[in-house]
Structure 1
Amino acid sequence: MIPFGLTSRSALAVQAVLTVAVSLAVLSLIGAPVLAVQTAAYGIGGLAALALAATSGAPGPRVSIGVTGFAFALILISLAEPGVEGVRRWMAVGPVTLQPAPLVLPLIAWVLAVRPAGWPVAGLAAGIALLFAAQPDPAASAALAAVIAAVVFTRRRATPTEIVALILSVAGFVWAVTRPDPLAPVDHVERIVLAAWAAEPAAGIAAAVVLALVPSPFLIRALRRNTGGGPALVHALAALWVVLVLASVTQRFPAPAVGYGAAFVIGWLMSLGLLARKRAAVEVRTWAISPGVGKG
């Protein structure tokens, strides 16, 4: 008998450690560059996860606006960067280049799941949807649409602005996916599973299994009635990581937490930290279109 649940804090820690071990081993096997950056990302993400897991309560309206505004600013900064062959999904942080989308999406899921969002938060989320499309980043566009949909359908309540944000995120995904993306996939980023298989079949299998398990804690918790952290948040995080993992299967987008990419590592570990928090929300069971809800 397993002494702890599949989504207990102990189980989440075990999964994180195994993912770190497999990722670094596979990246080393295929000769990926700058493993120190990936190692540092796991350390930073782990500290962020512990900090989020230790928090209690929910962000208030002002904090929610601040978090969403910060997310908007980071994506806007990436659009000001030179980019690569017309694609502008990254921003320079000192000597490191980060993709802000996987960093901000868990935080957007968190603030949207707290309460029905009014014009400031949902309006900023709608703006982020348009920025993702402008980058273009179909994976992030689809993930944001999935997050918003998961929140409103789990809560069974939506504000007009949330509906607008959902429509714009879907439209942004359609726009982004139909635009040319000239970037070739890289072995240690998008093609990590195939590259690992080519180097050593056992490593390829391990990478595939670990990648498939990335969204599993959120899916398992979503299927349980006692969804710690709040039902809307759990469903939003499950939708987020399922979409990002499925996007990576196309080999056009990074393999979250397994392939090389500091932002995906940190974002996934932050999501585990949010999942490890105590239950902080109550599910609303009656569908409604809410009027404006103040500053949230």
Structure 2
Amino acid sequence: MLLNLLFPLPALVVGILIMRAAGVPTTAWGQNLAACVIGILLYFVLARPRVSRQGETGLLIAGVLALGVLAATWLDPGLQGVHRWLMLGPVRVHAGALVLPLVLAALAGLERAGRRGASTLLAIATALVLALQPDAAQATAFVAGAVVLLLPRSPAEGRGWIRLLPLVVLAGLSWLRKDPLAPVPHVEGIVGLAAEQGHVWGIAAVASLLLLPVPFFVARGRGDGRVGLALGAYIIVTILATAVAHFPVPVLGQGASPILGYFVAIGLLKRFQGSVPRGGTESPAT
């Protein structure tokens, strides 16, 4: 649904206007504009509905590759012992913000196919890498989404909730190491920067952030309902983490990776909404 493309626009516009008013260089907020254009293209690539479970093979491969991207952050020298980024030319990519929606979609595909062991291993491996980076915001947000997907769906699954324990433990451990990096005003401190411009800008900044999770919960009842809830939980926790500690504010703050990751998430949401089983009818929500 093209309406979903409108939800990130207020945060993008408000963030850019705040950065311009604060004298942030054009090269910084210009990355947000470029990421928006690329993100829209990604949305249309990913939003194509799958026609069968066999059609999820590419998505599952993408999930494993996404885990590889997270692990590749150790190929970068890092910043003060923190390994969250990859250098692609002049651009520093925040790996977790970019690829975690893909991992959550891969978990959803594995769960639908009944491959619970594979989905559990992928979830734990991803949470472990995030905890080691360390990236407490992304680790906690990912685990929140993964728990939604991996929760037992019926009493027949017995003690299926036990596989959630390692995820919760790893999310908790990710907070034990103090983040040594100083916050950047137009990245982690963009809401405070907005408030400095006046109450109206502060309210606009917060309101635009509140819009970001909306499409994932409006989508309930169409396609695979748990995917929307999982991605929505991921987005909400990512936003809430910025109020607890110094983490990049998604979409509103400067940074291409969270913007691209958000468009990937709404593209995957559309993909699962339009999922059609081999019989040709829409699959029921789960």
TM-score range, shorter chain: 0.7 to 0.9
Residue in 1 that maps onto 2:69: 74
In the TM superposition, residue 279 of structure 1 has moved relative to its aligned partner by 3.6
Is the aligned partner of 1:47 residue 2:41? Answer: yes
Instruction: Provide Cα deviations, 1:214-233, integer angstroms capped at 9, x if missing partner.
Output: 112213334xxx2x241111
In the TM superposition, residue 10 of structure 1 has moved relative to its aligned partner by 4.2
Residue in 2 that maps onto 1:170: 168
Gaps of 5+ in 1: 1-8, 285-296
Identity of aligned residues (%): 31
Please give the alpha-carbon distance, in whole angstroms, between the structure 1 residues aligned to 2:224 and 2:67.
Answer: 24
Structure 2 letter corresponding to 1:208: V
Residue in 2 that maps onto 1:259: 253
The aligned runs of 1:77-156 (5 Å cut-off) are 77-114=72-109, 115=112, 116-153=114-151, 155-156=153-154
The aligned runs of 1:31-46 (5 Å cut-off) are 31-33=23-25, 34-46=28-40
Residue in 1 that maps onto 2:225: 231
Residue in 1 that maps onto 2:278: none
Please give the alpha-carbon distance, in whole angstroms, between the structure 2 residues aligned to 1:27 and 1:57.
Answer: 43
Please give the alpha-carbon distance, in whole angstroms, between the structure 2 residues aligned to 1:182 and 1:231.
Answer: 39
Instruction: Provide Cα deviations, 1:192-234, integer angstroms capped at 9, x if missing partner.
Output: 0111111233222211110121112213334xxx2x2411111
Please give the alpha-carbon distance, in whole angstroms, between the structure 2 residues aligned to 1:157 and 1:216.
Answer: 30
Structure 2 letter corresponding to 1:238: G
In the TM superposition, residue 283 of structure 1 has moved relative to its aligned partner by 4.1
The aligned runs of 1:204-283 (5 Å cut-off) are 204-222=202-220, 226=221, 228-277=222-271, 278-280=273-275, 281-283=283-285
Please give the alpha-carbon distance, in whole angstroms, between the structure 1 residues aligned to 2:46 and 2:63.
Answer: 17
In the TM superposition, residue 259 of structure 1 has moved relative to its aligned partner by 0.6
Please give the alpha-carbon distance, in whole angstroms, between the structure 2 residues aligned to 1:262 and 1:135.
Answer: 20
- 1:282 and 1:117, CA in 2 relative to 1: closer, same or farther beyond 3 A? farther
Structure 2 letter corresponding to 1:138: A
CA contact (8 A) 1:29 1:196 kept: no
Compare 257-266 and 20-29 and name the one that shifted more. 20-29
Compare 14-23 and 208-217 and name the one that shifted more. 14-23
Please give the alpha-carbon distance, in whole angstroms, between the structure 2 residues aligned to 1:104 and 1:57.
Answer: 23
- 1:20 and 1:113, CA in 2 relative to 1: closer, same or farther beyond 3 A? same
Structure 2 letter corresponding to 1:261: G
Alignment RMSD (CA, Å): 2.5
* TM-score (norm. length: structure 1): 0.83
- 1:204 and 1:155, CA in 2 relative to 1: closer, same or farther beyond 3 A? same
Gaps of 5+ in 2: 276-282
Please give the alpha-carbon distance, in whole angstroms, between the structure 2 residues aligned to 1:66 and 1:164.
Answer: 26
Secondary structure in 1 aligned to 2:66? helix
Residue in 1 that maps onto 2:18: 26
